[in-house]
Amino acid sequence: MINLELPDLPYSKDSLMPYMSAETLELHHDKHHMAYITNGNKFIKENNINENSEEEIVINSYQKNLPVFNNVSQHINHVHFWQVMSNNPDGKIPSELESKINSDLGSVDQMKQDFINAGIGQFGSGWCWLVLNKGKLEITKTPNAENPIVHGHIPLLGCDVWEHSYYVDYRNRRPDYLKAFIDNLVNWEKVAENLNNA
C-alpha cells in the first residue's frame, strides 16, 4: 500500500525571500502539505487503496472518491510545486524550452501573461499550469486539488493559488503573487527537465 511522505524542500526556507517568506514556507510545507499527507494516508488505508503509484490513485479516484482524490492529488501538486521553484530573478529559460514556448504559445511574455491570467481567473482555490497536451504546450487552470493528469495533460509548471500560498506575503493581492512567481520564482531548468521527461 502506498504511504505518502513529506519530501524535504530542495532549498532553505529563507532562500525564496523576498518573493516568498520563510513563514509562508513553514506553514505551507510543514503544516498544509503535511495535513494532506496525514489525511491521505488515513483515507488510503480506510478505503483499502491498492494502486501502485500516487498518480494512479489520483486518476482512479477522480470524481469517484473525493477524500482520497483531494488529499493525494494535493500531495502530488505540492511535491511538484516545491520542485519547480527557486530564487531565480534572472529567470533565464533554457533555449530549447524557450523555442517551444515561442512556437506553441507566441512568446515568453505572452506565456507569462496567460499564466498570470489563468491564476487570476481561477475562482476560489486551485492551480494554474503550464502543461504538455498531446505534444503541445498549453496554459490551463484547475479547481481545488485537481492535477492536470486527470485530463491527460502532463504538468510542467504549476502554481498554487490557494490563499494559504500567498496570504502571509501578499494578503489578497493574488495578481502580485503570480507576477512575482512567474518572474522570480521559477526554476526553469526543472521545467525544461519536466518537458524532457514528458
- Footprint of Mn ion on this chain (CB under 5 A)? 160, 162
The CB-of-135 to Mn ion minimum distance in angstroms stands at: 29
Residue type at position 32: H
Nearer to Mn ion by Cβ, of 180 and 192: the residue is: 180
Minimal CB distance residue for Mn ion: 160
Name the phi and psi angles at 191, rounded to 5: -65, -40
SS3 154: strand
The CB-of-160 to Mn ion minimum distance in angstroms stands at: 4
> E strand or H helix at 143, and its extent?
strand 136-143
The CB-of-91 to Mn ion minimum distance in angstroms stands at: 22
The CB-of-21 to Mn ion minimum distance in angstroms stands at: 15
Nearer to Mn ion by Cβ, of 54 and 160: the residue is: 160
Nearer to Mn ion by Cβ, of 85 and 192: the residue is: 85
Q: How far from the centroid of its chain's Cα atoms is residue 1's Cα?
A: 25
Q: For residues 10 and 180, give the distance between their C-alpha atoms in angstroms, rounded to a whole number.
A: 19
Residue 193: closest CA among 25, 28, 10, 26: 10
Nearer to Mn ion by Cβ, of 65 and 144: the residue is: 144
